[in-house]
Amino acid sequence: MSTVAADVVVVGAGPAGIAAAVRATEAKRRVVVLDEAPNVGGQIWRHRSVGTLGADARTWIDRLSRTNAEVRRGVAVVDVIVGGEAGDITVVAERHLGGVDVIRTPALIIATGARERFVPFPGWTLPGVTGIGGAQALLKQGATFRGKRVVIAGTGPLILPVAASLTDAGARVVVVAEQAPFQAVRDFALSLLTHPETLLQAAIYRLAFLRTPYAMGTWVTSASGTDQLAGVAVANARTAWSLPCDLLCTGYGLVPNVDMARFVGCTTADGAVAVDERQATSVPGIFAAGEVTGIGGVGLAVAEGEIAGAATAGAARIDPSLARRRQALRVVARRMERAFALRQELRSLARDDTVICRCEDVGRAAIASFADSRQAKLYARAGMGACQGRVCGPALELLFGWQPGTVRSPLEPARLSTLSTAALAGAASSAADPSAGS
Ligand SMILES: Cc1cc2nc3c(=O)[nH]c(=O)nc-3n(C[C@H](O)[C@H](O)[C@H](O)COP(=O)(O)OP(=O)(O)OC[C@H]3O[C@@H](n4cnc5c(N)ncnc54)[C@H](O)[C@@H]3O)c2cc1C
């Protein structure tokens, strides 16, 4: 076990965490950055070698490497103990290769990003059905898709790069089914005329799979096959049809990773951490930046990270150009959220025997009669498995309107030795401040 002190701890080395660490370190703060992934860069940058990344990504990763921020990779934060009014925060993290880090700090920046949203429908757990993040990861790991018949279904801009990459990798993308109606997609695209670089990027992706229909107002209603996906049923407002395919990639948007923030008591609104102008949360000493505060893309994550980093370093005011950039990108994010809101039909695709919690193999019928996610967990084990509700939690919210249950430590699966260290750290914090709690 190693115990250190830092002026600022950043959890998450994605675009937001990197920008936050750079800003705080450049303002002469001792910064420790923790990320459970083996590489820095978060969901979007970490899978690629720095040389193949775009200019912006390279600039930020270079800037981070030139600072003296201490970046600890392969380290999962499992507990955060908040004590005292002055922002006395203890972060407990488990090293994947063994050992526990305990870091005391007056300022914590939560930059834990977002995860994929999965919509349950009959057959969604069949081999051959994957989220777009899974498909991207397989591609980056060199999986072969040449000649495979692929259906891409979901919503929003994130399905476009997947369609482009799979086409580029030799897959036969049969259809890209965008659930949002034509008018919503058209209006969103027109609203991007004030952000021509984003529009251009979308057009480049679309050109890469130009021979494939981009069917708006269309969604997958079920996947079929015995041991392996063999085909999908697709519908729009007028008709329904079937398509044979080897791979189905779904992407129904992202969900902010708010568990850590909720655990320490930060206020959330609409599923994201609520922050003020300085990216400060409702808990003194704790800031949040990036997609944990709402889904808005890389540019917004970086802007928020920069503001949070500067705020923890005691900046008296927010850089006005950064505040303007953040505001403009938040407007785009809100438009995107409205345009690609999930349609009602997706909430009723799951049948009685459709698995909702795939870790514990719990079907819809086993939980439909409960009042909330807590009951479903206690009596039917929905959300009790390895992913701890990260996949089925948002699905339960979509299907039944249930809010997520209480978050408890450990925040990630942890070794027993880590738990005992966390307990000791908690006891030490309470001894120093009798009002402390975690
Ligand atoms: C599956 C997926 C696919 C995407 N594909 C694209 C794409 O193709 N194009 C595009 O423009 N955008 C894409 N995005 C969106 C893009 O990744 C985000 O806009 C951007 O990465 C947000 O940056 P962030 O710093 O807020 O979060 P992230 O980049 O998600 O970084 C958060 C980091 O926090 C770390 N973390 C979380 N919890 C802990 C913990 N307890 N302990 C330690 N570390 C922790 C994670 O390992 C992660 O590295 C995708 C997002 C997802 C989830």
Residue 433 has what pLDDT? Answer: 54
Write out residues with Cβ below 6 Å of ligand 1. 11-17, 34-37, 42-44, 76-77, 111-116, 133, 136, 158, 161, 254, 257, 260, 290-291, 297-298, 301, 411-412
Q: What is the mean pLDDT of residues 417-427?
A: 81
Q: Which residues pair with 163 in a beta bridge?
A: none
What is the DSSP code (8-state) at residue 109? E
Which residues in 199-304 belong to E strands, given as ranges? 214-216, 218-224, 231-236, 240-244, 247-251, 254-256, 268-269, 272-273, 286-288
Per CATH, is 120-251 categorized as 3.40.1280.10?
no
- Counting ligand 1 atoms within 8 A of each CB, the residue from 112, 140, 155, 264 with the most, and so the one to mutate, is 112
Q: Are both 2-114+255-337 and 120-251 of the same fold? A: yes
C-beta separation of 106 from 89 below 8 A: yes
Residue 225 CA to ligand 1 centre (angstroms): 32
Domain ranges of the chain: 2-114+255-337, 120-251, 344-400
Closest CA to 60 of 310, 296, 278, 302: 302
Dump the DSSP string for 17-35. HHHHHHHHHHTT--EEEEE
CATH of segment(s) 2-114+255-337: 3.50.50.60
pLDDT digits (tens, 9 = 90+) for 120-169: 999 999 999 999 999 998 888 889 999 999 999 999 999 999 999 999 99
The band of 352, judged by pLDDT with boundaries at 50, 70 and 90, is very high
Q: What CA–CA distance (Å, rounded) separates 230 from 62?
A: 45
Q: Which atom of ligand 1 is nearest to the CA of 295?
A: 19
Please tell me the pTM assigned to this model. Answer: 0.94
Residue 159 has what pLDDT? Answer: 97
Task: Give 434's contacts (C-beta < 8 A, 6+ positions apart).
Answer: none
User: What mean pLDDT value characterizes the chain?
Assistant: 93
The band of 434, judged by pLDDT with boundaries at 50, 70 and 90, is very low
Compute CA distances 427 → 82, 83, 100, 106, 432, whole Å.
12, 11, 16, 18, 9
Write out the two tokens for 87.
Answer: 């922002």
Q: Which stretch of DSSP H or E encloses residue 102?
A: strand 100-105
pLDDT digits (tens, 9 = 90+) for 284-339: 999 999 999 999 999 999 999 999 999 999 888 899 999 999 999 999 999 999 99
Whether the predicted pLDDT of 20 surpasses 70: yes
Q: What is the mean pLDDT of residues 171-177?
A: 98
